[in-house]
Structures are given as C-alpha cells and as structure tokens.
Structure 1
Amino acid sequence: MRFTLRQLEVFAAVARLESVTRAAEFLALSQSAASTSLTELERQSDCQLFDRVGKRLRLNALGRQLLPQAMALLNQAREIEDLLDGKEGFGSLAVGNYLATLLIGAFMQRHPQSRVRLHVQNTVHIVQQVANHELDLGLIEGCCQHPDVELQPWVEDELVVFCAPQHPLAQRGRASLDELAGEAWILREQGSGTRLTFDQAMRHHRPALNIRLELEHTEAIKRAVESSLGIGCISRLALRDAFRRGSLVPVETPELDLKRQFCFLWHKQKLHTAAMREFLEQCRALTAGVQRSDEIVLPPIA
C-alpha cells in the first residue's frame, strides 16, 4: 500500500480547511510535517489532488472523488481503534435544533463511552458542513436541495407564535394577520429552517413586518420575548416547558400554516458507522407512531 492513514488524515483536513497551516494546527502537527505528508501522497500516486488558488488549496476533480472514500476509510480506522480500546466511537454529530439535543442525552446514557460533538447551527451551515464531510450527521427543519446530500424525513414539527404573559395578545390567546402585522417581532436569522418556515407561511398575506431583532439561538429569542421586547415564532417543542411554567404564552394563528418536517441528512457517500446506525434507529423507535415532535415522550434522565 502506497499511502498511510496519516496521509489521508492530512489530505482530508486540508480539503476541509483549504490550508496546510490550518490543517496542521487542527491535527496538532508541524506545518512541515503536514506539508510533507500531502506532498508524499501526491508524489507516490503521481497525481495532483488540489488546485492552488492564491494561498488556498481547493480540491480538483480527482480530489473531490477521493475525499468521500478517504473519509470512509478514516471512519473505519477510528472504529477499529475504538474497538481495540474497548470504547464506542460515534464521531461527530450536527445538531440543528432543540429536539436533537434532547435525543443526544438519551443516546449518551445508553453509551456513556461514546464521543459526541454537537453543533447547534442554522440549516444552511449544517447542510454545508455535511456536504463538506465536516459532520457525519445533521438534523434540520425542512428540506435542502444540495446534490451531494441525502435527506430522510423523520417527524413533523410545528412553529407557534408566542408572547409574554403581560402582552395584550396573551389574554385573547389568538391573533389575526392584521393584528400580527402591528407587532414587533423577535425572529430567527435568515438561513435558519425556522425562519424559512415562518417566511413561507407569511408569503401570501404578509404586509411589512416590524422585525425588531434577528437572533441565532432559540433560547435568546425566548429571553427577549419574556422581556417584552416583542413576540416570537419558534418550535412548539422548544416552548413546551415555558408554556407549562407560564413564563411564555402561545398565540394561536388559524390563518397561518406553520407545520414543517424534521429531516436527517448525511453525505450520499458517507459510510454509516455502527453508532450512526444505532442513533438513527433509536430516533425512529422513539417516534414510531408519533405524528408531531411535541408528542414525543423522552426517556427520563437518570
């Protein structure tokens, strides 16, 4: 065999980071060691895997073809290493919403030795990271059209408009579109699945909304609405505890369709590790017969 796992590891890191320097830092190698490793891989194979664009290294056609296979081999090597060490390896997992965070807890209780890396980001970033092999698995709200990504619908979710208990809409419990148009809004940022669902629901009958704040995190939106800075619209599941406590109040909006779909996604050429398969199976078992995410009963934390 003319290549080593270290060479493939350096190649994969350079492919993701587009820089030998950043790849060396990520792998805790010297820059000369990383550069030598990549040079040797190309020399031994008598091929070029990157186009040099200024200071950046970008995968050429052959490099893009090699990357998924290199990642699959590296994942298998890590599984072998974990098996020999008596551990359960999970790799990395992207988390795009509140629900997945809860599911990770249940998984880690069953597998306390597993290693999980969580990324709470919006849909656009999750899709891009999965497509770039930076993440093994993503959970997003809605759909994506990326040609390298495979999507699997999971369970239906619903957004809900909400406000602080002292807000006038809290007394009535529902609002018309005209009433909503007159409110100050605290919304997710552009590029998030939540914002896309909200914009689509409002597209046919939305006057210009007064969007007071755009925030990247669900918890920040909840805190802002609790502080009476405006009204919001996020997943009903993420608001479940706040509604029970009475710190926030739902506002029904019969004129709006705020339903959406949670979907898992992974790279089409991604090798599914044993832990990935088990996590997906656990999620499917948890939602068997369930129509909406807010019907899911999560196992108690020990």
Structure 2
Amino acid sequence: MRYTLRQLEVFLATAHFENVTKAAKSLSMSQSAASGALKDLEQQFDVQLFDRIGKRLQANELGKLLRPRAESLLEQARELEQELISHRDIGHLNLGATLTIGNYLAVGLMAEFMREHPGAQISLEVANTESIARQVANFDLDIGLVEGELHHPDLEVTHWRDDELVVFCAPTHGLAAKGTLSDQDLLTAEWILREQGSGTRQGFDRAMHGLLSNQIIKLELQHTEAIIRAVEAGLGISCLSRITLKDSFARGSLVPLSVPHRDLLRAFYFVLHKNKYRSAGIESWLELCRRYTQ
C-alpha cells in the first residue's frame, strides 16, 4: 500500500482547518512532520490535493472528491482499532441536535444510551438546523437530529418521528378566551418567533403561507425558553413544538390556541453524511431513537 493512515489524517485535518500548522496541532504533530506527510502523499501519486489561496490551503476538486472516501476509510480503521482493543466497544459519538430536540429529547436518549452501553462517550452540539447540517456535511458531527427539512447533495435525510407545532398565548392575552383563531387574528397578533434558519421557524412559515408578508413579527429569539417567558409576560403570541409546552400547559401559565385551517404538523429527521461510515455507535444510536419515538 502506497499511503498510510497517518497521511490520510494529515490530509483530512488540513482540509478541515485549511492550514497545515493548525492541522498538525490537532494531530499532536510538528508542523514539519505534517507538511512532510502531505507532501509525500501527493508525490507518491503525482497529484495535487490543495490550492494555495493566500495563507489558506483549500482542497481542490480532486481533494474534495477524495475527502469523504478518506473520512469513511479512517472511520472504519478507528472502529477496527476499537474492536481489537475492547471487543466491539461503542467508542465516542458526536451528536448534533436542534434546540427543541436537544433540550427536550436528546438528553433522555443519551442517558438511556449510556445505560445500555456503559463504555460509550457522547458529546452533544445544540444549534439550529442550518448549523447542524453544515457540521454534519463537514464531518464535525456523526449524526444530526433536526426539525427542519433539508436538501443537501452530500447529506442523507431520513424520517425519525412526527411532531406538531402549537400556537399559544398567556391566559391573560386577549386571544386566550377566543380559543380558535381566524386568519385575521393571525394577522393582527404580535408574534414572538424563533430565528430564521431554525426548523421551528421553517415549519411556522410553511403553515402561515399567504400571510407571512403581513404578519407582525415583534421579536425573533434563538432560545425556546426565552420565547416561553416572553409569551408568559404577555408580549405576544407564538408557535413552538408541543413537546416544549407540555409543562407550561399543565401549569396553566400558557394556553393553546386552535388554528384548524393551518397545517402545523411536521417531522423530525436523522441527518448523516452520505459517505459517513455507519459505525457500531451510529447504528446503536439510530436503533435506540427509533425505539423511543413517543
């Protein structure tokens, strides 16, 4: 074999950081050793994998083509190493989840996963749908759990479970006694919403088609809890996932508003890179999520 796994590690780290010094640091190597490994890899096959743009090394077309295959090969090598060391140890799993899923579902699933696999290590990144998709596409995350629809050539997006958005307000709000809202009510209300780029906002915008340009958006906030507190304070009405509002509805601090003529159903999705190797940890996580869909 004319290349080494170490050379592939240097290639992938350089593609990620676009800088050999940073790549070397991430691999605990000297800058000269990393540069030498990358140079040897290119010379052995008489190819160029990067274009120099100022101080950056940006993967060229060949580098971009080889990157996902190198990622998959290294992932398989890491899993083989783990199997040799610990006989099918799950290893480390890098998860990403959107705010609704991360704050209300993922932690419970992580706890169950670690009970079933005591040696497993899990990290969780919580961000909006666009950010999670970008990190999965860049191989920074193994799996994404998102609430927004995605169309990306490098990502595999599959249905996980159904969800429902709910319009709601404080019990003292003028619309609380009305219960069922008309389109005119939706247009005159002041809204407190999630930011653009979030799956919740995407679902809301789709449900409110035909009204969006005339609706009154008073606040856009990045955090679900902040929206709940603002609505409880009477600043406006909002629309969030039902799973985030269960406790507030039970306490009576918020009340649901019916909008039967608007489709507020949506889905949660798994997001993986199409070329990501499905390790034992990834397969076990997906299987657990499918079991706990309620």
> TM above 0.5, one fold?
yes
Residue of structure 2 equivalent to 1:48? 48
Residue of structure 1 equivalent to 2:203? 197
What are the Cα deviations for residues 115-138 of structure 1, in whole angstroms up to 9, with x where unaligned? 212121111222222222222111
Residue of structure 2 equivalent to 1:155? 161
Q: Report if the CA contact (8 A) 1:78-1:89 is conserved.
A: no
What are the Cα deviations for residues 148-201 of structure 1, in whole angstroms up to 9, with x where unaligned? 111211221111112223322233333222122222221111111111111111
SS in 2 for 1:167: coil
Residue of structure 2 equivalent to 1:225? 231
Residue of structure 2 equivalent to 1:111? 117
Residue of structure 2 equivalent to 1:83? 83
The 2-side partners of 1:24 and 1:166 are apart by 59
- More moved, 163-172 vs 112-121: 163-172
Residue of structure 2 equivalent to 1:92? 94
1:276 to 2:282 alignment: yes
SS in 1 for 2:58: strand
Please state how far the C-alpha of 1:113 moved relative to its aligned partner: 2.1
Q: Report if the CA contact (8 A) 1:95-1:101 is conserved.
A: no
AA matched with 2:185: E
Please state how far the C-alpha of 1:43 moved relative to its aligned partner: 2.8
Please state how far the C-alpha of 1:224 moved relative to its aligned partner: 2.5
- More moved, 76-85 vs 211-220: 76-85
TM-score (norm 2): 0.88
What are the Cα deviations for residues 212-251 of structure 1, in whole angstroms up to 9, with x where unaligned? 2212222222232233332221111122222222232222
Please state how far the C-alpha of 1:105 moved relative to its aligned partner: 2.8
- Long gaps (5+) in structure 1: 288-295, 297-302
The 2-side partners of 1:286 and 1:206 are apart by 35
The 1-side partners of 2:126 and 2:64 are apart by 27
The 2-side partners of 1:252 and 1:26 are apart by 52
Q: Report if the CA contact (8 A) 1:90-1:276 is conserved.
A: no
TM-score (norm 1): 0.86
Displaced runs of 4+ in structure 1, greater than 6 A?
none
What are the Cα deviations for residues 36-72 of structure 1, in whole angstroms up to 9, with x where unaligned? 3323332333321112222222222221222122212
The 1-side partners of 2:119 and 2:224 are apart by 29
AA matched with 1:195: R
* Number of equivalenced pairs: 288
1:138 to 2:144 alignment: yes
Judged with a 3 Å threshold, the aligned counterparts in structure 2 of structure 1 residues 41 and 179 are, in CA distance, closer, same or farther, namely same
Query: Which of 130, 146, 149 lines up with 1:124 in the alignment?
Result: 130
Q: Report if the CA contact (8 A) 1:155-1:263 is conserved.
A: yes
Judged with a 3 Å threshold, the aligned counterparts in structure 2 of structure 1 residues 249 and 69 are, in CA distance, closer, same or farther, namely same
Judged with a 3 Å threshold, the aligned counterparts in structure 2 of structure 1 residues 113 and 170 are, in CA distance, closer, same or farther, namely farther
1:172 to 2:178 alignment: yes
SS in 2 for 1:63: helix
AA matched with 2:261: E
> RMSD of the TM alignment (CA)?
2.2
Please state how far the C-alpha of 1:28 moved relative to its aligned partner: 4.3
Residue of structure 2 equivalent to 1:251? 257
Matched residues, percent identical? 53
